[in-house]
Structure 1
Amino acid sequence: MKLRQAILPVLALSAATALHAQSLPGNSAPQPVAIASSIPAAADTPFAGEVRLSVDATQIARGIVTVRETIPVSRAGPLYLLYPNWIPGDHRPSGPIDRLAGLDIRARGESVAWRRDTIEPTAFRVEVPKGTTELSIDFQLLSVPASVVAPQMLRWSSLLVYPAGYFVRNIPVSASLRLPSGWSGASALSALSIGESTDFERVGLDTLVDSPVLAGKYVKRVELGRNLSLTAAGEKEENLAISADQLQGLRSLVVQADRLFGSRHFDRYSFLVSVSSRGGGSGIEHHRSSENFESSSFFTAPIENPDAQTILPHEYAHSWNGKFRRPADLWTPDYRTPMRDDLLWVYEGQTSYWESVLTARSGLLPHEMILGRFASLAATYSEGQPGSRWRSLQDTTGTPLIFRGNSPSPSWQRDFDFYTEASLLWLDIDQLIREHTQGARSLDDFARAFFGGRDGDWGEVTYDFDDVVTTLNAIAPYDWASYLRHHLDATDGSAPLDWIKRGGYRLIWRDTPNPYDMAVGKADDVSDYSFSVGFALSGNKVTTVLWQGPAFKAGLLPQMTLVSVGGRGFSREALESAIRTAAQTGKSIPVRAKDEDGEHDFSIRWTGGLRYPWLERASSEPAPLDRTLAPLPGK
């Protein structure tokens, strides 16, 4: 100890001397190298000729897709080829450049040297030789090998490069695709059928990238309405058995969306659904199709996972909100220009509102399931999201740019709340419009005015914050700008929850989960005690701990495994019994958990019993919220 005390002042003096020396004149002091780009910006000018793209996916089960591409060139000299990076729908740079391999560029049969840009690694500089009229490009896209029967979603954005300097809508592309023997597929692109070898219609690069191909060995197609279909691909044929009730719900979804928006911004639309044991319940929107990845029970047991049933309505609503109408600073002319996500609370937030409403209106889920979903969200933002005390809803729109996997503490950090909390913001706006117009108008009118109109136009119309406010004021005059900015910018822990009272309901707590939370918990193997002891479990492993909740204060950590509770070996029944006992005795709940360092004892102070959120009718009068969820009648 004495030796350390003697050394520390010497170290401190040495450090101070070194810092002082760095500031003396005469020492080396570099200046930064200027960052300049030679890559031409996208311009709205015609592209001479067409790009020919040939994709060979016959070895996709081995994780290999081979690309051959021909790009016409009009002059010798430097040319930049870009690999798509900022992909619409991802809201972030997401092009899988790390999976590109074997890039070979040739002119008149001879290899041409290329050099990757040091600032933008998805850009390649090529010196085009004199006399060259086209470049031939070959490469492979590699991925983890999959089962030979696993369905695949082929995204064209991963399977091409394109010349810089043009709006991608001005670059015509003729594409062809080869699939493994016995496979077939579907896309929004025109083709007589997608089989082992398919040539697609010539389209602009933007349309091609917006039109993925679903392919597999077992494929089923059903018609849902005028120019609307669903194509599903699965690992087993029996996974594609769509129940009559679900089929009716999907057909009703099409009808309800037509009645809501009053127009269509596509010539045809196809739901593309991959059902697989590898499915994760996710989706990506496109103008004329969806791109969905679901579990193998998506069709065979739909009510067992209600959350998954809202995904098709979500992606379908995006054809209007997100694809036809798009935030001005989120629309980009190519796949190199960065997207700005500040209006995702409209793009994703309002779409998340419509996913619940359209799911209820179409009958894909019963009314009480959607009420349970709203109750769970209301509870989260009334007391389960302490991060709203430092991070605004507006700031969460930056999450796609900063997210790097699971948050260590999602309740404190917040992540994708521009979906969930913003959906409640729009629910509140719906109920506020109904209240101020005595039920004569609603958010339905906003949707028809803002996202509808121009029937048959499947281009893009951009908007900004002022456009949203102007349309709301045309529906129901109010200080919408102040209202929106208050809820978007607040960091006081508040949330848009007045819709509960306006909608004729109240948030209550019971000791059993509502039907929605019960089904989701069973489907995801999650037991959520966030509103009581303050943690959630998958099996006996702690998945999340509520920031400053009872378990947090006791020291319990995510990823710990529960060993015992209340003196009994861990089970869900033992935990719930201990929570009930603590409510009666007022004593803390003893918990033993283990991690890689061994077993540890904790004492959780919680005497409030089991608590799960429900929405309950506030009176016998008709509830405006019920009207929101009721199907729209035909004219």
Structure 2
Amino acid sequence: MRKSVLALCLLSAAPLGSGALTGVAAAQAVPANFTRAAPLPKVDTIPAARDIAFPGTIQLHVDVTDLDRRIIRVKETIPVAEAGRMVLLYPKWLPGAHSPSGAINKVAGLTVHAGGKRLEWVRDTLDVTAFHVDVPAGATSLDVEFQFVSPTGDGQGRTVLTPDMASIQWIATSLYPAGYYVRNIPIQATLTVPAGWTVATSLRPATTGSATSGSAIGESPTAGSPTGGSTITYQTVPYDVFVDSPALAGRHFRKWELAPDVTLNVAADTPGELEASEEVIGLHRKLVDQAVKAFGARHYDHYDFLLSISDNLGGIGLEHHRSSENGVDPGYFTDWKSAGGDRNLLPHEFTHSWNGKYRRGADLWTPDYRTPMQNSLLWVYEGQTQFWGYVLDARSGMLSKQETLDALASIAATYDMTPGRSWRPLVDTTNDPIIAQRAPQPWRSWQRSEDYYNEGLLIWLDVDRILRQQSRNKRSIDDFAKAFFGVRDRDYGELTYTREDVIAILNGLVPWDWAAYFDKRVDGIAEKAPLEGIEQGGYRLTYADTPTDWFKTSETKRKAVDLTYSGGFTVASGDGKVTSVIWDSKAFDAGLSVGAQVMAVNGRSFSADALKSAITAAKGTSTPVQLLVKSGDAFRTVDLDWHEGLRYPRLTPTAGGKGTLDALLAPRS
């Protein structure tokens, strides 16, 4: 096949009139009556968003009491400006997801009425999240009903309703009119939850004085719903603020005040999971304190952490201006030391209130949820947030300094073994939310996937190092944070920026060729990961034959045997299923791939200990580790030609604890 294609390419390059070209042309001739189709014109009939006021206030009622069937029932009254064609939109491009991932497939039972008369709707064939409705003369509003049929089993998406809690995302349970900036569409919501449940959201109830008192946070709604639940009505807000203010409701619920304007709201599967020590809550208070000290201004009037501790509700980490949705495993409070990466979640999402929600890439901001987003600055949005997440972890004590260093070691080692950097620049991975939407990949290290998070973190570690070293420790990333994020206190709008804006602020702190710096690290391809922030910041990436506590906790949480640095693959600790293989590693050379299953090691049944023992025994020898591998219904024996034993990453200090990285992780007073 390759040969014939090559031949055709060579022939196509022959001069006109040559015999070879004539022969090819004859072979490719088509009949004279060969039918040739022409495209129909495609006309977008959906009104573009305009910066004008919407005439009226949407009334929305969401009912989450049908827990057995996990059906969310929606009723919506939408004012109309005039008779004629109107388009209703379901949010498509979702903030925080950076992609067209609106769950339109879960919208069912849609009906539209005006004045009691049912109106037919027509779905737009170019944009399936849009519905065309002909509004009759004299109508003042449309009454819309539908169900959001949330997942009931595996493979359907994130579970949002359980017998004990509900994750309510307004952006998934409402329609809005086309033709307006969403910030100009007022909406008032009413929520019904099971009786006795508690609700938390950054929205405030429609009662006098409740907007700023904070007393309404987490309080039980009023009883009296016709469904047997409890109902609460919230204040009218713009639609963009509304969808940015999700709710968490639960049967077992507690709240803690972390600051006068910050509340930790927690729902759990059982009451026991809500038993938090004062020491652990104190660390969360220090997180808030250290964040405000780092960034200066606050971009919320009040902030609500919405934290679910559950085996049943789907995990989540999603940022909002005045709240965040955080889902962790049981044991977050009761087995704090083993919570591992879950202790990094709240620092990351809290940082997003400044980075991503308030300061937002100019090409990412859109006037509605139909306009496509562009993600070219996610290495700032997510990369610097990932950076600050770990920094605030260390400064607050949410993670110890050593745990933070161990986490950074794992990140550095991972990206030091990412061969995909040789063909795909970091900036191109900012398209991954649109390209892949976090679907599983067969060769992640080669394909790359949202590397702007952790490789972005490594770049910002180095930016801090440069600022400190070039200014003789007079400037640091904290100065950038205050100049970039710490403006217009209590403003929770969106202040957009470009790469040039980032560079200008850095140059104002320390003159440097920052443009060339980012061109190389963000736009260029390279063999080596950007580890200068570590290697010139007082530490060295090294490997030992025993894992750090952080690495062991991660393995346990993932139920994995992670041999990424010990042959280049990872398997499930229980059944030996291969979950990752590094491109061009020894495991790759042996023919391992994701989805295969290691059945035996050196002739013995697979176990995690047997696999690690075999790799240890092969160290310094020429004898490969023999693996019996099952792929589909086929078995084969492969040789893993790895002889360096078990290797686990760690950071070894080179500056006696006085490097730039040490200074970065120290708490601020």
Q: TM-score, normalised by structure 1?
A: 0.94
**8 Å Cα contact 1:303-1:365 kept in structure 2:** no
Aligned to 2:519: 485
Question: Does 2:12 correspond to 1:21?
Answer: no
How far 1:620 sits from its partner (Å)?
Answer: 2.8
How far 1:301 sits from its partner (Å)?
Answer: 1.4
Q: Distance in 2 between matches of 1:389 and 1:212?
A: 41
**8 Å Cα contact 2:318-2:326 kept in structure 1:** yes
SS at match of 1:470: helix
User: How far does the alpha carbon of each residue in 1:307-353 deviate from its partner, in whole angstroms, 9 at most, with x for none?
Assistant: 11111000000000001111111111111111101100000000000
Count of aligned pairs between the two proteins:
617
How far 1:281 sits from its partner (Å)?
Answer: 4.8
Aligned to 1:373: 407
Q: Distance in 1 between matches of 2:294 and 2:168?
A: 31
Q: Distance in 1 between matches of 2:583 and 2:164?
A: 40
How far 1:279 sits from its partner (Å)?
Answer: 5.2
Q: Distance in 2 between matches of 1:571 and 1:166?
A: 59
Question: Does 2:68 correspond to 1:32?
Answer: no
Aligned to 1:158: 172
Question: Does 2:163 correspond to 1:127?
Answer: no
Question: Does 2:71 correspond to 1:57?
Answer: no
Alignment of 1:502-513 (within 5 A): 502-513=536-547
Alignment of 1:411-560 (within 5 A): 411-539=445-573, 540-560=576-596
Aligned to 1:79: 86
Aligned to 1:113: 120
How far 1:484 sits from its partner (Å)?
Answer: 0.4
Q: Distance in 1 between matches of 2:28 and 2:326?
A: 57
**8 Å Cα contact 2:164-2:252 kept in structure 1:** no
Question: Does 2:622 correspond to 1:586?
Answer: yes
Greater CA drift, 516-525 or 388-397: 516-525
Match 2:189 to one of 175, 188, 200: 175
Q: Distance in 2 between matches of 1:461 and 1:173?
A: 23
Matched to 2:579, the amino acid is T
Matched to 1:20, the amino acid is A
| Cα gap change, 1:111 to 1:616, in 2 (>3 Å) | same
How far 1:563 sits from its partner (Å)?
Answer: 2.2
| Cα gap change, 1:98 to 1:17, in 2 (>3 Å) | farther
Question: Does 2:317 correspond to 1:317?
Answer: no
Matched to 1:312, the amino acid is L
Alignment of 1:349-388 (within 5 A): 349-382=383-416, 384-388=417-421
Question: Does 2:409 correspond to 1:409?
Answer: no
How far 1:239 sits from its partner (Å)?
Answer: 1.4
Aligned to 1:610: 646
SS at match of 2:425: coil
SS at match of 2:392: helix
Q: Distance in 1 between matches of 2:564 and 2:162?
A: 41
| Cα gap change, 1:72 to 1:620, in 2 (>3 Å) | closer
SS at match of 1:62: coil
Q: Which residues of structure 1 form unaligned runs of 5+?
A: 1-14
Q: Distance in 1 between matches of 2:552 and 2:390?
A: 17
Q: Which residues of structure 2 form unaligned runs of 5+?
A: 1-23, 153-158, 206-215, 222-229
Aligned to 1:5: none
User: How far does the alpha carbon of each residue in 1:448-488 deviate from its partner, in whole angstroms, 9 at most, with x for none?
Assistant: 10011111111110001100110111111100011001001
User: How far does the alpha carbon of each residue in 1:257-292 deviate from its partner, in whole angstroms, 9 at most, with x for none?
Assistant: 110011111100000011111356530000000011
Q: Distance in 1 between matches of 2:516 and 2:632?
A: 51
Matched to 1:156, the amino acid is W
How far 1:228 sits from its partner (Å)?
Answer: 0.6
How far 1:305 sits from its partner (Å)?
Answer: 2.8
Alignment of 1:266-281 (within 5 A): 266-278=300-312, 281=315
Q: Distance in 2 between matches of 1:417 and 1:246?
A: 31
Q: Distance in 2 between matches of 1:411 and 1:96?
A: 29
| Cα gap change, 1:202 to 1:280, in 2 (>3 Å) | closer
Alignment of 1:188-227 (within 5 A): 188-191=202-205, 192=216, 193-195=219-221, 196-227=230-261
Q: Distance in 2 between matches of 1:222 and 1:558?
A: 43
Matched to 1:121, the amino acid is V
Identity %: 44
Question: Does 2:175 correspond to 1:141?
Answer: no
**8 Å Cα contact 1:150-1:276 kept in structure 2:** no
SS at match of 1:186: strand
Question: Does 2:655 correspond to 1:629?
Answer: no
SS at match of 1:21: coil
Aligned to 1:10: none
Question: Does 2:635 correspond to 1:599?
Answer: yes
**8 Å Cα contact 1:152-1:274 kept in structure 2:** no
Q: Distance in 1 between matches of 2:392 and 2:577?
A: 35
Greater CA drift, 593-602 or 429-438: 593-602
How far 1:373 sits from its partner (Å)?
Answer: 1.0
Q: TM-score, normalised by structure 2?
A: 0.90
Matched to 2:431, the amino acid is G
How far 1:621 sits from its partner (Å)?
Answer: 6.1
